[in-house]
A and B are shown apart, each in its own frame.
Chain A
Amino acid sequence: MAKHRGRGIAAIEYPTGMNQNGDPSQCWIKVKPDGRIDVFAGTADIGNGSKTIQSQIVAETIGVPYDWITYDNSNTDSSPMCTGTFASRATFVAGKAAEKAALQVKAKILEIAGKELEIDPADLEIVDGEVLAKGAPQTKISVADVAGAATFGHGELITGTGAQLKPYSAIVDSETGRVDSPPHSAISYAACSAEVEVDDETGEVRVLRLQQCYDVGRALNPSQVEGQIEGGAMMGLGLGVLETCYPYYPSVDHRGGSFGSYLAPSMEDMPQIDTIMIENPSADGPYGAKGIGEMANNPQPPAIAAAVHDAIGVWITELPITPERVLRALEAKAAGEAEPRREGKKIVFDEELSVNTVSSGGIRFEVPA
Chain B
Amino acid sequence: MKVVGARIPRYDGVAHVTGRTTYVDDVRIPGTLWVKALRSPVHHAAITKLDTRPAEEMPGVSAVITWEDVPHLVYGPLEALGIPADEPLLAKDEVRYKGQPIALVAARDEATAAEAVSRIEIEFDERPALFDVRQAFDADCPVIHQEGNWYTHFEDDMDRRQIRKGDIAWAFENADTIVQGVYRPAAIEHAPIETQVCQVVPEPSGRLTIYSCTQALYFSMGVVAAHLQVPLNKLKVVGGTTGGGFGGKVDTATETMCCLLAMKSGRPVKWRWTREEEFLCSSTRAPWHMEIADAVTKDGWILGRKMLTLHDAGAYSRFSPYGLTKHSFHHTGAYTIPNLEFDGYVVYTNRVPTTAMRGFGVTSVSFAVETHMSRVADVLGLDPIEIRLKNANRVGDTSPNGVVYTDPSTVPTIQTIAEAIGHELPADYRTMTSEQRSGEWLPEHLVAQLGNPEDH
Give the chain A neighbours of B333 by CB distance below 8 A.
11-13
- Chain A 268-283: CB-based contact to B (< 8 A → 1; otherwise 0): 0000001010101011
Query: Which B289-344 residues have a C-beta within 8 angstroms of A?
Result: 289, 291, 293, 306, 308, 310, 312, 322, 325-326, 328-330, 333-334, 342
Q: Determine whether the beta carbon of A46 is less than 8 Å from that of B215.
A: yes
B184 within 8 A of A: yes
A321 to B235, CA, bound (A): 46
- The segment from A14-22, A108-116, A143-151, A155-163 that touches chain B is A14-22
Smallest CB–CB gap between A64 and chain B, Å? 9
- Chain A 47-90: CB-based contact to B (< 8 A → 1; otherwise 0): 10101100111011000011000010111110101111111000
A297 within 8 A of B: yes
Give the chain B neighbours of A317 by CB distance below 8 A.
181-184, 371
- Chain B 269-306: CB-based contact to A (< 8 A → 1; otherwise 0): 00000011001100010010101010000000000001
Given known contacts A177-B161, A183-B329, A306-B374, is B3 in contact with A56 (CB within 8 Å)?
Answer: yes
Q: Determine whether the beta carbon of B360 is less than 8 Å from that of A75.
A: no
Q: Determine whether the beta carbon of A347 is less than 8 Å from that of B184.
A: no
Interface of chain B: mostly helix, strand, loop or mixed: mixed
Given known contacts A46-B215, A52-B11, A176-B165, is B185 in contact with A75 (CB within 8 Å)?
Answer: no
Residue among A79, A193, A287 making CB contact with B217, cutoff 8 Å? A79
Smallest CB–CB gap between A188 and chain B, Å? 8
Query: Which B172-217 residues have a C-beta within 8 angstroms of A?
Result: 172-173, 175-189, 191, 214-217
Smallest CB–CB gap between B336 and chain A, Å? 11
Q: Determine whether the beta carbon of A278 is less than 8 Å from that of B413.
A: yes
Q: Determine whether the beta carbon of B155 is less than 8 Å from that of A8.
A: no
Smallest CB–CB gap between A3 and chain B, Å? 20
A305 within 8 A of B: yes
Query: Which A230-262 residues have a C-beta within 8 angstroms of B?
Result: 232, 235, 238-239, 243-246, 249-252, 255-259, 262
Q: Determine whether the beta carbon of A60 is less than 8 Å from that of B3.
A: yes
B244 within 8 A of A: yes
Given known contacts A13-B333, A79-B217, A350-B182, is B8 in contact with A221 (CB within 8 Å)?
Answer: yes
Q: Determine whether the beta carbon of A45 is less than 8 Å from that of B136.
A: no
Q: Determine whether the beta carbon of B406 is less than 8 Å from that of A12.
A: no
**Total contacts A-B at CB 8 Å:** 434
Q: Determine whether the beta carbon of B388 is less than 8 Å from that of A9.
A: yes
Q: Determine whether the beta carbon of A349 is less than 8 Å from that of B180.
A: yes
Given known contacts A76-B217, A274-B420, A302-B374, is B244 in contact with A243 (CB within 8 Å)?
Answer: no
Q: Determine whether the beta carbon of B185 is less than 8 Å from that of A276.
A: no
How many residues of chain B get a CB closer than 8 Å to chain A's CBs?
141
A51 to B11, CA, bound (A): 6
B456 within 8 A of A: yes
A118 within 8 A of B: no
- Chain B 219-250: CB-based contact to A (< 8 A → 1; otherwise 0): 10100000000001001111111101111011
Q: Determine whether the beta carbon of A19 is less than 8 Å from that of B326.
A: yes
Q: Determine whether the beta carbon of B456 is less than 8 Å from that of A7.
A: no
Residue among A22, A181, A274 making CB contact with B81, cutoff 8 Å? A22
Chain A residue at minimal CB-CB distance from B7:
A223
Q: Would you give 19 A-B contacts (Cβ < 8 Å), ordered by A?
A: A45-B12, A46-B242, A56-B6, A65-B3, A66-B6, A75-B237, A76-B238, A82-B217, A177-B401, A213-B417, A215-B409, A220-B4, A246-B186, A301-B366, A349-B179, A359-B138, A362-B138, A363-B136, A367-B172
On B, residues with C-beta under 8 Å from A are 1-12, 43, 81, 98, 131-141, 154-156, 158, 161-165, 169, 172-173, 175-189, 191, 214-219, 221, 232, 235-242, 244-247, 249-250, 275-276, 279-280, 284, 287, 289, 291, 293, 306, 308, 310, 312, 322, 325-326, 328-330, 333-334, 342, 349, 351, 356, 358-363, 366-371, 373-375, 378-379, 384-385, 388, 392-393, 400-403, 405-410, 412-414, 416-417, 420-421, 456
